[in-house]
Amino acid sequence: MSKFDEIMKRSGYSRATVSRVINRSPHVSDEARRIITEIMNELDYIPNRNAVSLSTGQTKQIGIVTAMIDELSLTFINQFMDTAMDYGFQTIVYMSRSDKQIELQAFEDLRSKRVDGLLIVTCVNDPGELKTYLQYGPMVSWQRMGNDEIPSIAMDQAQGYRLALEHLVSKGYTRIANVFGRSNSLNTKSRREAYETFMTSQGLPVWREAYQYSVFTSSDGETALRRMANGGELPQAVLCSNDYAAIGIMSEARRHNIHVPDQLAIVGFDDIELSRVLELTTIHNPIAEQAKQAFYHLWRVLGNEEHKATSLAYRLIERATT
């Protein structure tokens, strides 16, 4: 006999009434509530979540799909977890390690009702295939999806990039090098276009020869600076894929006795904690706000209150490197 039945028996109340006190329904006499609660405690009772989920059709659980957890995604994930928890949702992480099969498990879990919804931080499967899972439950993505069918709360980085460009030019830096991440990513494409369009519009030269790709870490940044230093004329300023890269460039510049910002101005991207400490000029990426929006999106689709999607924007944070 299950504990639930035991409670029924001992208390003398019916299945329904016991369920009511478990779920804090107001329609129970104080007497019943008292007696049943007491027995629940005696028995150390806790509902079987599989049974609850089967009955309600909801798991109150949201899956987080990500290949890996790094400092940036962690900021996002943490904020998402907090928000979800505020609304009574648990979150579980599906770390795929870029394995398509493992990643797919998360989506199959949506299909088999193990989670109510999915947050995609990073995914390796083809969005075109993943979108078929939309019929089983809501999903949002942080990563930009080429596909428009899977909703994404990603922002267009071009806006942030323009901010940096305007800042640099207004300060008199015109010979600007660009250090990108993945060469074929949507974000890189956006940034590159933003740069080329902006420079052209200002009547300034577009410096394609100075493009560098696959610069992600601070150690990549160090390498990047060395290439610049060895590559003839030094740029007046460099726009970085992210703050880590910028930090690498900054520290390597110091070793090369290149003065920042006089000889080389540096602008990062994302505005991570460290960049404040190191006084790096950067573009503030409202990650926490995006995480909230991501949850609100799921929340909305899961059939609850509306939530206005406040529009987010990048912000330039001027510090000591420009």
Partner DNA sequence: TTGTATGCGTTATCAT
Partner DNA sequence: ATGATAACGCATACAA
Please spell the DSSP secondary structure of 217-272, one letter per residue: SHHHHHHHHHHHHHSSSPPSEEE-SSHHHHHHHHHHHHHTT--TTTT-EEE-SB--
Among the listed ranges 3-11, 130-138, 227-235, 268-276, the one in contact with DNA (CB under 7 A) is 3-11
Q: Which amino acid is at 57?
A: G
Q: According to the binding rule CB under 7 A, does residue 37 interact with DNA?
A: no
Q: According to the binding rule CB under 7 A, does residue 55 interact with DNA?
A: yes
Give the one residue of 43, 85, 309, 320 binding a copy of itself; rule: CB under 8 A.
85
Among the listed ranges 33-41, 97-105, 198-206, 293-301, the one in contact with a copy of itself (CB under 8 A) is 97-105
Give the one residue of 9, 15, 208, 255 binding DNA; rule: CB under 7 A.
15
Contact by Cβ (8 Å): 36, 21: yes
- Residue 32 interface partner, choices a copy of itself, DNA, none, CB cut-off 5-8 Å depending on type: DNA
Q: Which amino acid is at 215?
A: V
CA-to-CA dists, residue 219 to 57, 114, 243, angstroms: 48, 40, 12
Cβ 205 to a copy of itself, closest distance in Å? 39
CA dist., res. 133 & res. 230, Å (int): 50
Cβ proximity to a copy of itself: between 97 and 100 the closer is 97
Output the six-digit token pair for 74.
Answer: 């962690």
Give the one residue of 78, 98, 200, 263 binding a copy of itself; rule: CB under 8 A.
78
CA dist., res. 152 & res. 156, Å (int): 11
Among the listed ranges 13-21, 34-42, 112-120, 138-146, the one in contact with a copy of itself (CB under 8 A) is 112-120
221: Cα separation from own chain's centroid: 23
- Three-class DSSP category at 306: coil
Contact footprint for a copy of itself (CB under 8 A): 46-51, 53-54, 59, 69, 77-78, 81, 85, 90, 92-95, 97, 102, 105, 108-109, 111-114
